[in-house]
Structure 1
């Protein structure tokens, strides 16, 4: 059927071509007949080929079946051999366990001890000097847990030796050269001073050992200067004894220094409110110092004027003396009022800016409380959104919120002292003026 369809399509195409080229229909029909005869001949040849090779195909099929049968028999033999050898292995393992006796428990203890020692060695600073021992401990632990191989007596002795060496090295101060990663991330060879298994120093700086990478790194943030100076002095000692600070947690405390904020970072945690408080504190301090200096100068002029009452100068007491000289002929009551008025005119000048200092001492704690309340609100909003899964987040937020309270108190307390000092100085000058004024009035009263 398919062949007829193809022939029909070819005829249609041929007719289209003939229409274009004016070819004879009889010639076209002859061509089609020749093509059909050729196809029939090809089909017959193909069929004869298959018939001739039928015996060969049957022979190949028989060979394959025989091979399959042979492989099945071989598989049964291997299965039987496996079962026999598996049973033999079980008997040999039972015999081995029986012969091992107490040694099996010993091997278990050695395996656990080797594993624990490997972990301890990898986390110790001494690993930089003896890097091969961790691999030895891992291999020993593998042998102790494997029934196919056993550790030799020499390896067990080496295990004891490594543990003993670690104990001895933890009590030594050793200098050795190794690669150190600086704070800038560049690795270079340096002379390292190892303080037992506690700390490592290089160029007067404390180092941190990273077990994950097996590298020594310079701490990004060093301890206080007094500890760093001791480290420098200790490294400079060639013999004898010296003092140096060590970390008893073997690097735990030093690593926390990176996370601990310094003074400037703590101040920055106060944000806008904190900066406002600090700004007010600076302004209040400058105003207090300025007023104290001014009052000191006025007090000096007043004291000098007391020694020379006959020549009034440009100072509070001098101006009061001028009033006394000008109004000396008035009656006692009028003179008392004039001198009192002069003292009242001088008092505001002496107490200038003192209320401002007092206001700063009162406003600073209130601003600190405002910052704390705002920070606590933000902290609890974060807890509402993200929950309390991380206590550090809550503690950090509260700590940041309390920074403003600390800043407020740090500003308020000195401001109170400064206000008290400046106010007492102004009051002392005012009392001197009042004393001198009382003397003037008494002199007028005697004269009258």
Structure 2
């Protein structure tokens, strides 16, 4: 309406300027016509606006529906994304666990491969199977992941090593002799712990060299019995073979001719006093064995003979029998007792006791010395132990503990002197006890037979009669 009034005003103003050309009625008609046209335009515009509003409402409704659908789809996608993220996290965890298992398995395989490599490097079988190292090399390479082929090679090497270890094989082959030259000969392998060779008249044991990957002859000369046993087994003359189950360690020690000298030198200066004690103890033991070994510990037969002669009052035969067995202390004691026949019991007992004491130095000679030597030997070994440990700690003070060889001298001295001291003392103690017991048995036999003589004389009264006859004969 405001627009219509505005148009009317504008029309009046225009008509007032052109009043000379048109009349007032024409102006009103024109204005009415324009108003009608304007109203039509307004109606048309209103209808257009209403149509646009309906269309926009429809579009807005469709857009809202579409938005709702999009929001629902978005929420669905968000839920799927959350599930995918959770699945991804779970898969990452499983992958990490699998990677950890694979890493552990890889470490186990490499460790096994290294252990097997060390085993075959020191095995007698490697010289016959040089390809084993090449098959195990990929497994020990840290920059390469082991595959199934490598695992199969590892298992194959182990099974081949087990099978070969069950064999006793004799074959012509090459080895490194004691001079360092590669020579050919007959090789005899027993399982995986003993290998021998025969090259002409030369025989011996073999061991595996890790660096060369070949069999090497153990230096030195085996004992004669071992050489003969190897030769006879290789030639098929016998089914007995001297085995070295240590892989060559024992054979090397047996073949070393200078082992005793080196062992003595390792003990230091205190070894020599211990060896002197051992030599002195041997000499004293031989003397005691010779002296006491000839003396019987039982003289029952001689005593029975003396009783028979005494029952016949044949005292001169009794004295003669004791004189003939003068090397037996019991006979000397009995001879002294018969010299005092007819004397009082106390005199006879004192005479027999004096005779027993007279025989004791000959029986107990050097026994005290042996006991002293048995006590000194381990003390010298202990002194050597202390000296060796002092040398060891002095070496540690100067050179530290980086090189064990610097300490080996003092430790060897400590162990060798202790070993030698005990090795000398124990036999001396056993021998001393043996001789002491034998001397005690002889002394007990003297005391027993002396007491038997006193009992016999007092029981039969032979002593006084014999003494009286001797006195009467002396008076005549």
What TM-score do the two structures reach when normalised by structure 1? 0.56
1:171 equivalent in structure 2 = 163
Aligned to 2:293: 296
Residue 353 of structure 1 deviates from its aligned partner by 1.3
| Pair 236,161 (structure 1): closer, same or farther in 2 beyond 3 Å | farther
Which residue is 1:210 aligned to? 209
**Aligned equivalents of 2:382, 2:372: Cα separation in 1:** 16
Unpaired segments ≥5 residues, structure 1: 1-108, 146-155
Tell me if the contact between 2:226 and 2:242 (Cα under 8 Å) persists in the aligned partners: no
Residue 410 of structure 1 is matched in structure 2 by: 423
What does 1:302-313 correspond to in 2, within 5 Å?
302-303=299-300, 305-309=302-306, 310=318, 311=320, 312-313=322-323
**CA gap 1:159/1:123 in 2 versus in 1, 3 angstroms:** farther
Quick check: 1:305–1:317 contact (8 Å CA) kept in 2?
A: no
1:12 corresponds in structure 2 to none
Match of 1:53 in 2: none
Q: Distance in 2 between matches of 1:220 and 1:178?
A: 19
Instruction: Point out where structure 2 has 5 or more consecutive residues left out of the alignment.
Output: 1-105, 307-317, 465-476
SS in 2 for 1:299: coil
Equivalent in the alignment of 2:196: 201
What per-residue deviation string (whole Å, max 9, x for no partner) do you get for residues 385-421 of structure 1?
2111123543553243122112111221221221111
User: What CA distance in whole angstroms lies between the structure 2 residues aligned with 1:133 and 1:296?
Assistant: 67
Q: CA RMSD in A?
A: 5.0
C-alpha separation between the residues in 2 aligned to 1:274 and 1:257?
Answer: 21
**Secondary structure of the corresponding residue to residue 295 of structure 2:** helix
Indicate which of 183, 190, 201 corresponds to 2:178: 183
**Residues 220 and 252 of structure 2 are in contact (CA less than 8 Å); yes or no, is this contact kept in structure 1?**
no
Aligned equivalents of 1:259, 1:199: Cα separation in 2:
16
Contact 2:378 2:421 in 1 (8 A): yes
> How far off its partner does 1:365 sit?
0.9
Do 1:171 and 1:196's aligned partners in 2 also have CA atoms closer than 8 Å?
Answer: no
Aligned to 2:398: 385
Contact 2:299 2:330 in 1 (8 A): yes
> What displacement does 1:185 show?
4.1
Partners of 1:236 and 1:373 lie apart in 2 by 54
Alpha-carbon distance, 1:335 to partner? 2.6
Which residue is 1:219 aligned to?
218
Partner in structure 1 of residue 275 of structure 2: 278
In the aligned structure 1, how far is the partner of 2:338 from the partner of 2:415? 61
Structure 2 distance, partners of 1:319, 1:184, is 70
Equivalent pairs counted in the alignment come to 322
Larger Rg: 2
